[in-house]
Structure 1
Amino acid sequence: MPLAERPAEAADTLAALYPALAACWQPPEGAGDAGVEVTARFSLRRDGSLIAAPRIVFTAGVSGEGRRRLARATLAALRACTPARITPDLGRAIAGRPIALRLVQRRRAP
């Protein structure tokens, strides 16, 4: 999911929800030049709040302490962006269902 600005209106589709959540994410210091990927899995309630702590299920481009910093940054971003602004219809559709959010910071060109 490319980084974007957080939309002002409530998300009414998953396609609108993903950028709203991704807008809060920044890769940790030092990870941006190499390019990193992280996938978090979580579930939301009807009101857009997290049901439980998200889980990091995949990382690429970092190892060791870099992986731990990437996981912390991703979890902090999800906490900052929730409760997500979603419509009642989207809330009913996604409540309790697993969501996987893939965040990618591409390698910067030299």
Structure 2
Amino acid sequence: MRGGLFRAGLALAVSASPAAAQFDVYDNPSVLSLPTTLRATVRVPVASPPRGAADTLVALYPQLAACWRPPAHLGAAAITARFALRRDGSLQGTPRITFARVSGERRNALVTETLASLARCTPARLTAGLGGAVAGRPIALRFVYPGPNQGDRP
């Protein structure tokens, strides 16, 4: 009999725990979600590279694309690189190309230039606040090159 009361009392104590009773996934959905990918499109080459440390995402994206140069004989093209940054603005891991719109023989040159430009432009100059906000979050940056005629569209 005593064992039965003890078990019943223990079960009552566990279920009455305020922390267990108040926690709900819907109250804090970010607890169980993956980081949201930061997405942006930048027209390259960047006309006027930003100066100083980036304090917003709007200032960060052109800073990351400022080192991009068109490979020889490239027409209109678009390419998307997926990567992550550390707090100090350096690359975390190896960037990955997830999309490229360009003719077959020019694809390798475009991929090589895009990866090289990210290496040249990093570590990005970030404020402490922006560095903390973007650290480890995936970034999908789309580089759009309109072509040498500036009227072509990829």
- TM-score, with length taken from structure 2: 0.66
CA contact (8 A) 1:11 1:17 kept: yes
Q: Which residue of 1 aligns with 2:146?
A: 106
CA distance in 2 between partners of 1:40 and 1:68 (Å): 14
Identity %: 53
In proportion to residue count, which structure has more helix?
2
CA distance in 1 between partners of 2:113 and 2:127 (Å): 27
Structure 1: which 4+ aligned runs deviate by more than 4 Å?
Answer: none
CA distance in 1 between partners of 2:80 and 2:114 (Å): 9
Q: How many residues are aligned here?
A: 107
Q: How far is the alpha carbon of 1:54 from its aligned partner?
A: 0.5
Relative contact order (C-alpha < 8 Å, sep 6+): which is higher? 1
5+ residue gaps, structure 1, are none
1:1-110 equivalences in 2 (<5 Å): 1-2=42-43, 3-4=45-46, 5-31=48-74, 34-63=75-104, 65-107=105-147, 108=149, 109=151
Q: Which residue of 1 aligns with 2:3?
A: none
- TM-score, with length taken from structure 1: 0.91
CA distance in 2 between partners of 1:25 and 1:96 (Å): 23
Structure showing greater radius of gyration is 2
CA deviations 1:2-46 (Å, max 9, x no partner) are 232322210011111000111110121111xx2000100000000
CA contact (8 A) 1:6 1:21 kept: no
